[in-house]
């Protein structure tokens, strides 16, 4: 059985600020080919990092994700992809897949960090189908919220 069998590829639609009843919160919106969407609430720094890549903005100094990519490049480590594979108690879990020579390694990481790294290397982002299917509840939570672009 293929370890990716119950996964499908997903893309980053955009990063938004959700201005609900509480504090404004950044969210990265993921979308599959058939238009199913999944919002993942993320931190402000991760939102800025993801937004920079989506908008082709290069900060004057490398951010943490840029630094990591620079280190990986120098060490000849390739980003193979990202797998968002679980959600427990409203927290999403992801793994970063990296290859060094013939060794494929997996690292537990926050989805936001994985996405920021994957976008910089054009690595595929995959999500467990069951996790995406459960996302309709998350989308309904966004109804009525004011959605703003992260860059104003």
CA 33 to chain centroid:
16
With 0-12 / 13-18 / 19 or more C-beta atoms within 10 angstroms meaning exposed / middle / buried, residue 92 is buried
Question: Over pLDDT 70: what percentage of the chain?
Answer: 84
DSSP notation for 30-79: EE-TT--EEEEE--HHHHHHHHHHHTT---SS--HHHHHHHHHHHTT-EE
Q: What is the pTM of this model?
A: 0.89
Residue at 83 is within a domain: yes
Residue at 1 is within a domain: no
- Average pLDDT over every residue of 24-31: 89
CA 102 to chain centroid:
26
Count of structural domains, the chain: 1
Confidence of residue 120 (pLDDT cuts 50, 70, 90): very high
Residue at 54 is within a domain: yes
Residue at 24 is within a domain: yes
CATH of the domain at 128: 3.10.690.10
């Amino acid at each position: 059985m293929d370890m990716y069998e119950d996964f499908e590829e997903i893309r980053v639609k955009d990063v938004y600020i959700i201005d609900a009843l509480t504090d404004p919160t950044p969210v990265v919106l993921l979308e599959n080919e058939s238009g199913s969407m999944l919002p993942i609430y993320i931190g402000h720094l991760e939102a800025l990092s993801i937004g920079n890549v989506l908008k082709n903005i290069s900060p004057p100094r490398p951010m943490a994700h840029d630094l990591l990519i620079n280190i990986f490049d120098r060490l000849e480590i390739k980003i193979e992809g990202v797998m968002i594979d679980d959600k427990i108690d409203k927290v999403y879990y992801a793994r970063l897949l990296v290859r060094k020579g013939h060794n494929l390694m997996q690292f537990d990481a926050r989805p936001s960090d994985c996405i920021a790294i994957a976008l910089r290397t054009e690595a595929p982002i995959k999500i467990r189908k069951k996790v995406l299917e459960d996302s309709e509840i998350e989308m309904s939570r966004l109804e009525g919220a004011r959605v703003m672009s992260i860059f104003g």
